[in-house]
Amino acid sequence: MDVHISPSALGGTARAPPSKSYTHRAILAAGYSDGATVYDPLDSADPRATQRAVEAFGGTVEAAGDDALEITGFDGVPEVPDNVIDCANSGTTMRLVTATAALADGGTVLTGDDSLRSRPQGPLLDALTDLGVRAESTRGNGQAPLVIEGPLAGGTVAIPGDVSSQYISALLMAGAVTEEGIELELTTDLKSAPYVDITLEVLEDFGVTAEPVGATGTGGVRSAGADGFVVEGNQTYAPEDGEYHVPGDFSSMSYLLAAGAVAAGDGEEVVVEGAQPSAQGDSAIVEILDSMGADIAWDKDAGEITVSGSSLSGTTVGVGDTPDLLPTIATLGAVAEGDTVIENCEHVRFKETDRVSAMATELEKLGASVTEEQATLTIHGSDSSLSGATVEGYHDHRVIMSLAVAGLVADGTTTVTGADHVDVSFPNFFEVLSSLGAELSRE
């Protein structure tokens, strides 16, 4: 599907979808339990891959009305799957359940689509191997398809912290039900620390204790500066009252807030609901917009963020802990005056696509002036003038939504190809954008 977007004046109230990050972890945590109900889960392609994995390991997942999943878990002892587990395009699923597979007393094969089979899994495979598990890439390149053969007893292992925080989350979640527990030593600085905080928060809500070691807690991020993590074994996953409620997703909110900041009509506001505080690092989008001069206010008690059309100025942002915000920030930089410098972004090249290169390439097609370096992306807003063009979505939901926001203020019509891939995290994104007044059509 392609989407065609014209300059628009937005206003109104919208709700972002539930958090994809929390939904993944909650579904798998319920799988590790003997059963739980997950309320307000995100219903999109990636979490469905995690649901399929839970079922492959012997659990069951059933809809309980429109807003809940009733999950019967495998109680910490996954079965050997009857078939290959297809993680589709979900990197979170593959990494989290690779460690789950290590617990099974037998072999598991995991694969995914072309994009997922190009993403790095090597450090997690190496860690599991060091813990006594057979963990191999069938092509010997550290990429899926993967073959995992347990069982995993636990132990102490070293792993880099700067490739993907999901490796750490995977080992912490699985380590809680091992005999020995797992002690992780980080060989490099931790990137994306707020995502590990999300894992720690979900574990705590399911009655499981895991702790960072040597953390500084900088910026209120519990895992910031950690040089390791410890999770004791023989723990039981059991949320209070057998229930877990998924919070709203700040990564998805970022596109609506950016859209309001650049395209809200005169005298209009965009109000985003479902913005209750949580461990999500991507709530930093509120501070980033404020630093760029946006008229934005967050009522944390009500869980509402209000933003008006604003004259933005460039800023400097490090995305070491918030990699998913890079596409949104890049689009804001193309509209702002002055330079917007996105630093510490080399790890963002290892997402669904190389998002640094993708945003540089496609924003240039729209008329932005961009300088791309290995770990820095600079958008020269004062030298940019956005005009409609056909841009590629790279089968990447975050690239697609960010380019759609740019289309709201680019002269003429902007066409984003492959726009149906928003289904990964925000299936009704274009319906929501249209309800706020965006002039768009799909074909």
For residues 8 and 120, membership in a common domain is answered with no
pTM here is 0.85
- The stretches of 78-179 forming alpha helices (DSSP H) are 91-103, 122-130, 165-175
Would you list the DSSP string of 27-96? HHHHHHSS-EEEES---SHHHHHHHHHHHHTT-EEEE-SSSEEEEE--TT-PPPPSS-EE-TT-HHHHHH
- pLDDT of 266 higher than 90: yes
Q: What tokens does 93 get?
A: 């699923």
For residues 46 and 144, membership in a common domain is answered with yes
> 192 by DSSP, 3-state: which?
coil
Rounded to an integer, the average pLDDT of 308-320 is 97
For residues 199 and 222, membership in a common domain is answered with yes
**What is the Cα–Cα distance from 64 to 129, expressed in whole angstroms?**
39
For residues 227 and 256, membership in a common domain is answered with no
User: 12 a known binding residue?
Assistant: no
Would you list the DSSP string of 350-417? GSSS-HHHHHHHHHHHTT-EEEE-SSEEEEEGGG---B--EEE-TT-HHHHHHHHHHHTTSBS-EEEE
User: 166 a known binding residue?
Assistant: yes
Q: What tokens does 225 get?
A: 């500066």
User: 192 a known binding residue?
Assistant: yes
For residues 318 and 253, membership in a common domain is answered with yes
Beta-carbon count within 10 A of 83 CB: 8
Give the residue numbers spanning the domain of 169. Answer: 20-234
pLDDT tens readout for residues 108-132: 999 999 999 999 999 999 999 999 9
Rounded to an integer, the average pLDDT of 225-231 is 98
User: 387 a known binding residue?
Assistant: no
pLDDT tens readout for residues 338-378: 999 999 999 999 998 999 999 999 999 999 999 999 999 99
In a domain, 87, yes or no: yes
Total residue length of the chain? 443
> 229 by DSSP, 3-state: which?
strand
Q: Classify each residue of 322-333 as buried b or exposed e, where b means 16 or more C-beta atoms within 10 Å of its C-beta.
A: bbbbbbbbbbbb
User: How many separate domains does the chain show?
Assistant: 2
- What one-letter code names the amino acid at 173? M
For residues 12 and 27, membership in a common domain is answered with no
8 Å CB contact between 14 and 58: no
- Find all residues with CB under 8 Å of 411, minimum gap 6, and list them: 7, 385, 386, 387, 388
User: 165 a known binding residue?
Assistant: yes
User: Which of the listed residues 206, 234, 262 is the one where a domain comes to its end?
Assistant: 234
Q: Can you give the pLDDT at residue 65?
A: 87
User: 91 a known binding residue?
Assistant: yes
In a domain, 243, yes or no: no
User: Which of the listed residues 234, 266, 301 is the one where a domain comes to its end?
Assistant: 234
User: 119 a known binding residue?
Assistant: yes
Q: Can you give the pLDDT at residue 199?
A: 98
8 Å CB contact between 42 and 50: no
Mean pLDDT score across all residues of the chain: 97
For residues 76 and 146, membership in a common domain is answered with yes
Domain of 30, CATH number, reads 3.65.10.10
Nearest to 244 by CA among 21, 50, 23, 15: 23
For residues 272 and 159, membership in a common domain is answered with no
For residues 203 and 292, membership in a common domain is answered with no
User: 21 a known binding residue?
Assistant: yes
Which residues are known to be catalytic? 324
In a domain, 60, yes or no: yes
Q: What tokens does 87 get?
A: 């993680």
User: 351 a known binding residue?
Assistant: yes
User: 324 a known binding residue?
Assistant: yes
pLDDT tens readout for residues 144-161: 999 999 999 999 999 999
For residues 43 and 131, membership in a common domain is answered with yes
User: Which of the listed residues 234, 269, 288 is the one where a domain comes to its end?
Assistant: 234
pLDDT tens readout for residues 58-81: 999 999 988 999 999 999 999 999
User: 66 a known binding residue?
Assistant: no
In a domain, 438, yes or no: yes
For residues 9 and 59, membership in a common domain is answered with no
Q: In the structure, what pLDDT confidence band is assigned to residue 219 with cuts at 50, 70 and 90?
A: confident
Q: Can you give the pLDDT at residue 105?
A: 98
**What is the Cα–Cα distance from 8 to 440, expressed in whole angstroms?**
9
